[in-house]
Structures are given as C-alpha cells and as structure tokens.
C-alpha cells in the first residue's frame, strides 16, 4: 500500500463512484469531494500510510488546480456583456458579499476564541477551493483547514440556500444566482444550475468575481482587523 | 494537436501570472492573474472562444476533483480542528447565511434604484 500509484487509482475510483451515488440518489449531502476525502483518510489511517506517501501521487492531481482557475477566464469572457449591462448592481452586490463574508466569519470566529491562524484560514471560506487555498497560503493560514471548511460551506449553501433566499424574499433570478455563487462557490453553482440555468450562469459569475474580490480584499481587511 | 495548443495557451497565461507574482512580490494568486489574462486575450480575439472552450470546460467541470489531495491534508490538522471545532463551525455557518442574504439584497436594491 506504499505505492503512490495505487492511491491515485483509489482516488479516481472513489470520486467516480461517489459521483454515481449522488446522481442515483439525488442527495446533495453526498458530495463526491467530501465523500472521497473522508473515505481516503479512513483508508490511510487503517493501512497506516502517511499523508506524505499519499501526496507523492496526490501532487499530480493537485497540480491541475491552477490551470483550472485560469480556465475560468473562459466563462468570465462569456459573461462580459451581461456584466456590462448590469455592471453597477452586480459590482455592488459582489463588493458587499465579499466584504461581509470576510468580516463576519473573522469576527464570529474571533469572538468564539479562534486563533489568528485559524481566522486567516476561515477568511476565504466562501471562495472556490483552489482560490481559497491560494489566499490562505499566501496570507499564512492553514490551506488544508481552508479546504476542509470550504466544502461544507458549499454544501450548506446548496442545501439551505434556496430556503434562505425564500425567507429573505429574494425574487430576482440574477440575484439568486449571484448569491449562491458568491456564498457557496462551485457546489452552490451546481445546485442552482439544476434549478434554473440562468441562476447557474450568474452563480458562475458570482463564484469568479468573489474569488477575485476576496483575493484583493482579504489581505487589507484582515490587516485592518488586526489578524495579519 | 488542438488539445495541446489549448493547454499551451492556458499554461502560458499561468506562467505570466507566476512571473508577475515573482517579479513584483505581490500577495495575489498567480492563477487569478492568468484567468484575467486569458479573458483579455479572448476579448482581444487573440484566443478564439470556440477553440478553447473544450479544454476549459473539462478543467472547470473537474475542478472539485483536483482539490481532493489538499483536502486530505486535513488529516495533519485534526488537533487544531478538534481544539477549535465550535468557533470554526459556527462562524462558517452564520457567515454563509449572511453572505447569501446580503449579496442578494444589495443586488435587488441597487438594481431597483437604477430601473426606478
């Protein structure tokens, strides 16, 4: 079990099976990313294999994170006209969503006694994982803790997002999509895509824009709040 | 050869992003610079949307898979999480709900103002 290729094969296989399971059952909680991470951690612990051994193969999967973020430039280009048309409301809502996301998570965690390292790791929690990991590591957080929080945040948005928006009386299609993408990144985007493709398109936009804005604001906001 | 060329374009954008970060020393993800560059090249018509969308969609739709290894690294930090479980979970939960509501409201209010 010390062979990294075996673990690569296991990773591919479980992710595929978990994806099938979600399709069959339709349960959002059966997030393939979450399931695969949990199963592999259990397997590593049971077979006494270290993370370093796993990562010898795992680094080849992780390598594709950065090019995948670059590829988001393509849907961003697709939405340029629509962004221009609704520029002010989209910009204002993203600005508010990004700032409120960083400030609220940091303030609540601080009040409840989290350490600075943990607060920094939580700050980018609404942003899609690859971007969140980069923000966390450039600012001195714990990237894996960030990754571990981002997925549940996404699932939370996917499960409770539409109920929350109904209670908050959000009716506009664009605002619903933007909210899901801004708060719950790719997982929220997938959920809105299933409900309405227009929601899905704007969720993608929210996911991209919040990624950019949070990368820009997180260092300043965290410095002003005294965590950096 | 199409796939190779598309990947070459994506990696070239990323390489420029890495170079910018290295030369300026700014604390900003190189991949986001690459993303903005790719978008600019599409807008300028240097890169064609029809040609790059295939590889781009493949990368984007599998983005979740690529982060499984960094996610598994959580097993190295179980102690920190156990010690601060309550603040981490509570802050993430409340903040997510706040972001959904605030983003949506700000959009609806500012859009109404513009139209009204």
pLDDT of B116 reads 46
**Looking at this predicted complex, what is its ipTM?**
0.89
Which two structure tokens, joined as six digits, stand for B13? 């954008």
Nearest CA in chain A to B77: A145
The tens digit of pLDDT for each residue in A51-70 reads: 999 999 999 998 998 898 89
A15: nearest CB among B68, B76, B94:
B68
- Alpha-carbon radius of gyration of chain B: 20
Strands (E), A26-169: none
CB < 8 Å to A183, chain B = 96-97, 99-100, 103
Mean pLDDT across the stretch A21-44?
86
CA dihedral B51, A184, B32, A146 (to 10 degrees): -130
With contact defined as beta carbons under 8 Å apart, do A91 and B59 qualify?
A: no
Paired tokens of A42: 């259990």
> Could you give the CA distance from residue A4 to residue A11 in angstroms, rounded to a whole number?
11
The answer to whether B54 contacts chain A (CB < 8 Å) is no
Which site among A20, A74, A100 would you substitute to test the B interface, given the most B Cβ atoms closer than 10 Å to its Cβ? A74
Q: Averaged over A104-131, what is the pLDDT? A: 94
CA distance A75 to A208: 9
Q: Summarize pLDDT for B29-77 with one digit per residue, the tens.
A: 888 889 999 999 999 999 999 999 999 989 988 877 887 888 888 888 8
Determine, for residues A133 and B65 on separate chains, whether the beta-carbon distance falls below 8 Å: no
Reported confidence tier of residue B113, pLDDT bands at 50, 70, 90 = low
How far is residue A121's CA from residue A144's CA, in Å, rounded to a whole number?
9
Q: What CA–CA distance (Å, rounded) separates A107 from A127?
A: 18
């Amino acid at each position: 079990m010390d062979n990294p290729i075996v673990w690569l094969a296991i990773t591919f296989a479980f992710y595929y099976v978990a994806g099938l399971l979600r399709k069959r059952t339709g349960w959002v909680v059966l997030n393939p990313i979450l399931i695969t991470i949990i199963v592999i951690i259990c397997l590593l612990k049971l077979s006494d294999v270290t993370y370093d051994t796993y990562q010898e193969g795992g680094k080849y999967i992780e390598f594709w994170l950065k090019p995948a973020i670059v590829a988001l430039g393509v849907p961003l280009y697709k939405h340029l006209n629509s962004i221009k048309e609704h520029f002010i409301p989209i910009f204002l809502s993203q600005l508010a969503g990004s700032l409120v996301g960083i400030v609220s998570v940091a303030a609540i965690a601080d009040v409840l006694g989290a350490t600075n390292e943990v607060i920094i790791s939580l700050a980018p929690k609404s942003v899609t994982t690859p971007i969140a990991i980069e923000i966390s590591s450039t600012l001195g957080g714990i990237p894996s803790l960030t990754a571990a929080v981002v997925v549940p945040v996404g699932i939370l948005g996917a499960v409770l997002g539409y109920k929350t928006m109904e209670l908050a009386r959000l009716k506009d299609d664009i605002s619903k999509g933007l909210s899901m993408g801004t708060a719950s990144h790719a997982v929220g985007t997938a959920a809105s895509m299933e409900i309405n493709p227009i929601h899905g398109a704007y969720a993608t936009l929210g996911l991209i824009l919040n990624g950019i804005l949070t990368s820009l604001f997180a260092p300043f906001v965290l410095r002003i709040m005294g965590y950096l | 050869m199409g796939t190779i060329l598309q990947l070459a374009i994506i990696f070239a954008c990323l390489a420029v992003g890495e170079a910018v970060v290295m030369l300026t020393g700014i604390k900003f993800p190189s991949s986001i610079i690459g993303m903005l560059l790719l978008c600019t090249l599409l807008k300028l018509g240097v890169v064609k949307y029809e040609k790059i969308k295939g590889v781009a969609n493949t990368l984007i739709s599998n983005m979740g898979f690529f982060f499984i290894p960094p996610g598994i690294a959580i097993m190295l930090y179980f102690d920190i999480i156990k010690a601060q479980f309550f603040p981490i979970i509570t802050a993430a939960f409340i903040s997510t709900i706040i972001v959904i509501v605030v983003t949506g409201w700000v959009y609806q209010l500012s859009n109404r103002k513009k139209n009204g």
